[in-house]
Every structure is written in C-alpha cells, then in structure tokens.
C-alpha cells in the first residue's frame, strides 16, 4: 500500500489519542521489555575479548575484532617528530574543541588534529538540547538522580557528580562565547522536558543545538589561532619506556604519509562507533565515527568500561530511503508528538528513557504492528502534525526548522503528515575508563566525550552528551595543560605496540584485521 494511504490511520485516530494518558512502565515490566527486545541483549551479537586490558569481557563482535586488530604502523618507523607540542588534542568535535580552547587558555601550546575537517563530528548533529540544571525548581542533585536512574544505577558516581555540578558554569561559558540558547519572553533561558528527566532542564537552540554550539566553538578555535592538522587520522599512540603517553602517529589522508607528533600529554576526543553499523543497524553518526580512540587506547593498555552497551535512538528515519538512520529529534516527542503503530494505537510513554522507547518500537515491529515501506523497511509513526493541532499552526515550523527542511527536500511536509521511524544506532554508552579529570590509567593519556566510558552507565539520558563533551573537554584540557607545564617531553617509542603484538601472538590472533578502521568501507573492492 502507498505510504500516503497508510498515513491516514494516524490522522483518523489523532483526536481519540489526544484524550489518552500513557503511563510509564513499572520497573519489573521495563526490565522484561528491555531484556527481550533491546539489541544489547542479543547474545549472538557478542563475544569475549581474547586478550588485552579487558580480556574475557564481552562486547559486540565488530568492536572486539577491532580491539584485537593490529596497528598499520611497523616497529621500525622513523619516530623523528614533524611537530612538537605541550597538548595534543585528537578530534575536532565538541569535546576536542573544548579541550583545545581550555588548554590554550591555560597557556599551553596546543595542536588540534582531526581526521576530517574541524567540526566534522556527531556534535554538529545533536538536536535535542543540553541538560543543565539552571531552572529555579531544579538542582544538580535532581539531575544526578535522574541520570543515575536512566543509567540503570551503573553510572560512575564521581564522574556524574562532576558533570552535574559543572553544568551551570559551562552554560555561562558558552553564552559568553556567543551561543544563542532559546530564551523566554522575559529573557530568561528557556528549558524543555527531556525523556527520563523529572524536571525541564534542556537548553536548546531550536532543533540544531549541537550545530549552534559547534559554530561558536569552531570560530573560537580559529580566532585563537590554535594550530590545526586536518585530514590527519590518528593510527597509533606513542609511549616512553615507562608506558606513559608521549604523542601520536597520524596518517595524512591527502598524501598517505605518516606524521609524528611529540606531545607531553594527549587528549583523545575521537567520538563514537556508529559507522561500524553494529548488528547491521543504520546509524545517525557522522562518516568518521569508527571507534578509533578505543583501539588506540586499548593498545596502550587503557582499561575500557561498559563496552557491552550501546544506545539505539528511538527515532531514526525509515522513509524516505535517503534519510535512513538520520535522527528525527527527540524534541518532537518532548513537545507532545505521539508514537503510533499500524493500528493507530499509542504503545509507550514517549518520554520514557531511550532504551525503553526503542525496545517498545522494536516489539511493535516484531509482533506485526509495524508499518512496512515499499523497500521492505519497517517502523512506526511519529505523529508530528499533532504539535500544530495541540499548540497552534506553525508550531512545527517554528520549533523544528532543521527537521522541516530535512524532510522538505524530499517533498514531505512534517507539519501535515507523520514520519516513519525505527531505532538507529546512535551512541556508545561505554568507552575508555577515565577519572574525574578525564585521565585514563595510562599516564598523560586523557579521553573526553563519547570515546570515554563510565559516566552514562548502561543508558544515556538525552541532552547529557553535549554537557559531557563540554565538562570533560574542559577538565581534560586544563589538567593536560597543567601537567605539561611541569614536565619535559618524554621519549618517543612503540614499546607498548611491541608488547601488544607479543600478547596477540601468544593468543594466536592472526585475523589480519588492521585497526583503527579510519573510514567505513562502503565500497567493494573489484578484482
């Protein structure tokens, strides 16, 4: 049946649904739902890591294979540095820019290296907002408890405490830099309610919050004349005789040569893992999100945390084909948009946590209540026109201009017709284990943002990622700069890589896989 004909059930049932209240699932029912339908619990998708700091821990097959993979760098590479710096930041997204700016502001010499261009990152695509407890009825304590509950009580308490307490000062810093957060008529910051949160605390810039923040941070990095290495993909870290981090090796993607950078401290801000397409899921992640920081840290001996859990954002586009996996912002559900199955029924509280909502959507589709497209994909409806019906004509266009434009390109008016969605691989809940200043168990190696692990537990609340980037970008930058000011440049060696290769050989690892992946392989080799 034509997609437009299938949409009619949403229009016909709208008035009846507006009278409904859907309660959140009780705890026991939530747990049962998640364990039965969430992709994290598909045992066939996981296997133990065979060696290294996390030997025996399970993670998805795609990541385990990369963690055990060999470096492209040979032991005899000339390690004479082409560049030397106090602080080397690897990654040009939100965490990387924040780290570079704070390290530079503390007086350190900084180089920011990024695999693609400055700003090419998941941060640019963050839509829903940034959770910060700035409202009078809110507090960091409430933010802490909401996040702890959302993370299934598995969050690192020390990291979480730092994040919620540093939030207000981060908001002040961003506003002073020029970020244009939404305001109320009286000029105060406007806050919205997010899924899994008990209080409204989302600071937003319409539905392009991440883009606005990155606009400002990118300009500031350029204005401060921080040295940039673009199209430089990190392929290996460097260590001294004691295993401390002393720099990194990059592959120049323009001329395919290796570039060696000596650094007193290194901050990895390489982002997520979505382009591995775990379990075959589409992804909302940008092109370079291939989990590089995890591979590099792991070979250095850094411990990983919560690497068996990933976030599947409930509302990834299913139609049209050109938008597969792209986010349909959670802000639409925050404003009251309904999730509707093929029968025209609501089946979940739209503001429940992401793992619950995603599991509920997967259940509807697996039990035959999903809507199938002509290309064979399946999903459920998100009733976007309901917002205009509830809040007045023009609401969708006013509050979600980026989303309107995204679908308008393909002849779809989301203020008049619902959109078809299904969970998309969105976020890496775990990552490299860090302390409150973003340092790993490898001295002088820091990790900030999505590549780090522990803060979000087993499920991230919406809006906490942007705050995570800013808080731990700042903390890593300041700590790395302070450390660099009191030390000399360490020796550049590949001894950690030699140890890793010896351990791999002992475990009979001969897969032939080279990591990091650098860029996803979407094309088949011919011949």
The confidence score (pLDDT) of residue 184 equals: 94
Evaluate whether 130 touches 208 at the Cβ level (below 8 Å). Answer: no
- How many whole angstroms separate alpha carbon 317 and alpha carbon 300? 38
Q: Does residue 308 register a pLDDT over 90?
A: yes
Q: What angle do CA 391, 397, 385 make, to 5 degrees?
A: 55
Could you read off the pLDDT of 509-523 as tens digits, one per residue?
A: 777 899 999 999 886
The confidence score (pLDDT) of residue 524 equals: 58
Phi then psi for residue 59, to 5 deg, are -150, 175
DSSP string, 346-403: B-S-TTS-HHHHHHHHHHHHHTT-SEE-TTS-EEEEEETTHHHHHH-TTHHHHH-HHH
Evaluate whether 307 touches 430 at the Cβ level (below 8 Å). Answer: yes
Three-class DSSP category at 474: helix
DSSP string, 93-128: SHHHHHHHHHHHHTT--EEEE-SSSTT-SSGGG--S
Could you read off the pLDDT of 15-67 as tens digits, one per residue?
A: 999 988 898 899 999 999 999 999 999 999 999 999 999 999 999 999 999 99
What SS3 string covers 235-301?
Answer: EEEEECCCCCEEEEEEEECCCCCEEEEEEEEEEECCCCCHHHCHHHCCECCCCCCCCHHHHHHHHHC
Q: What angle do CA 328, 329, 330 make, to 5 degrees?
A: 120
Q: What angle do CA 277, 281, 287 make, to 5 degrees?
A: 40
Quote the mean pLDDT of the chain: 95
Mean pLDDT, rounded, for 111-127: 94
- How many whole angstroms separate alpha carbon 137 and alpha carbon 478? 31
Q: Does residue 506 register a pLDDT over 60?
A: yes
Q: 5 falls in which pLDDT band (50, 70, 90)? A: confident
Q: 14 falls in which pLDDT band (50, 70, 90)? A: very high
Q: Residue 273's closest CA among 466, 97, 452?
A: 452
Percentage of residues in the chain having pLDDT higher than 70: 99
The confidence score (pLDDT) of residue 527 equals: 47
Mean pLDDT, rounded, for 408-420: 95
The confidence score (pLDDT) of residue 525 equals: 54
- As to burial, measured by CB atoms within 10 angstroms (0-12 exposed, 13-18 middle, 19+ buried), residue 12 is exposed
> Domains along the chain?
3-37+311-425 (3.90.700.10), 83-123+212-309+429-495 (3.50.50.60)
Three-class DSSP category at 79: coil
The confidence score (pLDDT) of residue 127 equals: 85
Half-sphere exposure of 188 (CA within 13 A, CB side): 8
Mean pLDDT, rounded, for 464-469: 97
- How many whole angstroms separate alpha carbon 380 and alpha carbon 504? 45
The confidence score (pLDDT) of residue 276 equals: 95
The confidence score (pLDDT) of residue 101 equals: 98
Evaluate whether 453 touches 432 at the Cβ level (below 8 Å). Answer: yes
The confidence score (pLDDT) of residue 511 equals: 73
Q: What is the CA radius of gyration of the chain?
A: 23
Mean pLDDT, rounded, for 136-154: 96
Q: What angle do CA 390, 396, 401 make, to 5 degrees?
A: 165
pTM given for the model: 0.93
DSSP state of 22: -
Mean pLDDT, rounded, for 317-328: 93
Three-class DSSP category at 4: helix
Mean pLDDT, rounded, for 270-293: 95
Could you read off the pLDDT of 210-235 as tens digits, one per residue?
A: 999 999 999 999 999 999 999 999 99
Cis bond upstream, residue 320 (ω within 30): yes
Whether 354 is catalytic: yes
- At which residue do the structure tokens 């009286």 appear? 186
The confidence score (pLDDT) of residue 512 equals: 86
- How many whole angstroms separate alpha carbon 150 and alpha carbon 456? 8
In this structure, of 139-148, 287-296, 433-442, 513-522, the range with the lowest mean pLDDT score is 513-522
Evaluate whether 411 touches 418 at the Cβ level (below 8 Å). Answer: no
Q: 1 falls in which pLDDT band (50, 70, 90)? A: low
Could you read off the pLDDT of 355-411 as tens digits, one per residue?
A: 999 999 999 999 999 999 989 999 999 999 999 999 999 999 999 998 999 999 999
Choice among 299, 354, 363, 377 that is catalytic: 354
């Amino acid at each position: 049946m034509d997609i437009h004909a299938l949409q009619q059930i949403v229009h016909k049932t709208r008035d009846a649904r507006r009278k409904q209240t859907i309660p959140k699932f009780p705890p026991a029912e939530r747990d049962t739902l998640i364990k039965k339908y969430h992709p994290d619990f598909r045992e066939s998708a996981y296997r133990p890591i065979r060696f290294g700091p996390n030997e025996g821990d399970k993670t998805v097959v795609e990541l385990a294979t990369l963690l055990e993979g060999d470096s492209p760098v040979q032991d005899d590479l000339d390690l004479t540095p082409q560049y030397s710096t106090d602080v080397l930041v690897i990654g040009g997204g939100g965490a990387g820019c924040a780290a570079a700016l704070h390290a530079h502001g503390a007086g350190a010499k900084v180089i920011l290296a990024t695999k693609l261009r400055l700003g090419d990152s998941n941060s640019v695509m963050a839509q829903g907002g940034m959770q910060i407890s700035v409202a009078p009825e809110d507090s960091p304590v409430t933010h802490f408890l909401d996040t702890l509950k959302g993370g299934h009580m598995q969050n690192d308490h020390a990291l979480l405490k730092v994040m919620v307490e540093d939030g207000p000062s981060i908001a002040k810093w961003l506003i002073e830099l020029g970020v244009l957060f939404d305001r109320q008529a009286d000029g105060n910051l406007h806050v919205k309610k997010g899924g899994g949160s008990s209080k409204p605390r989302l600071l937003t810039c319409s539905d392009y919050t991440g883009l606005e923040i990155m606009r400002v941070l990118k300009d500031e990095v350029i204005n401060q004349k921080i040295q940039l290495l673009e199209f430089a993909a990190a392929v290996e870290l460097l260590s001294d005789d004691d295993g401390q981090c002393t720099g990194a090796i990059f592959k120049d993607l323009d001329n395919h040569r290796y570039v060696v950078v000596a650094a007193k401290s290194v901050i990895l801000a390489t982002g997520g893992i979505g382009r591995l397409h775990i379990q075959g899921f589409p992804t909302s992640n940008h092109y370079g999100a291939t989990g590089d920081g995890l591979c590099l840290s792991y070979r250095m001996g850094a411990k990983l945390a919560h690497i068996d859990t990933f976030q599947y954002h409930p509302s990834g586009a299913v139609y049209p084909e050109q938008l597969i996996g792209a986010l349909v912002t959670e802000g639409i559900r925050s404003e009251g948009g309904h999730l509707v199955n093929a029968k025209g029924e609501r089946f979940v509280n739209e503001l429940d946590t992401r793992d619950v909502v995603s599991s509920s959507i997967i259940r509807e589709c697996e039990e035959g209540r999903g809507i199938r497209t002509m290309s064979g994909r399946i999903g459920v409806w998100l009733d976007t026109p309901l917002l205009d019906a509830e809040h007045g004509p023009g609401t969708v266009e006013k509050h979600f201009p980026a989303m309107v434009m995204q679908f308008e390109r393909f002849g779809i008016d989301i203020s008049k017709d619902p959109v078809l969605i299904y969970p998309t691989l969105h976020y890496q809940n775990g990552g490299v284990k860090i302390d409150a200043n973003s340092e790993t168990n490898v001295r002088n190696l820091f990790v900030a943002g999505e590549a780090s692990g522990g803060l979000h537990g087993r499920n991230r609340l919406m809006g906490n990622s942007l705050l995570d980037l800013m808080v731990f970008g700042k903390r890593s930058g300041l700590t790395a700069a302070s450390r660099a000011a009191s030390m000399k440049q360490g020796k550049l060696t590949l001894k950690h890589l030699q140890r890793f290769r010896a351990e791999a050989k002992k475990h009979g690892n001969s897969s032939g896989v080279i990591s990091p992946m650098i860029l996803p392989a979407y094309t088949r080799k011919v011949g």
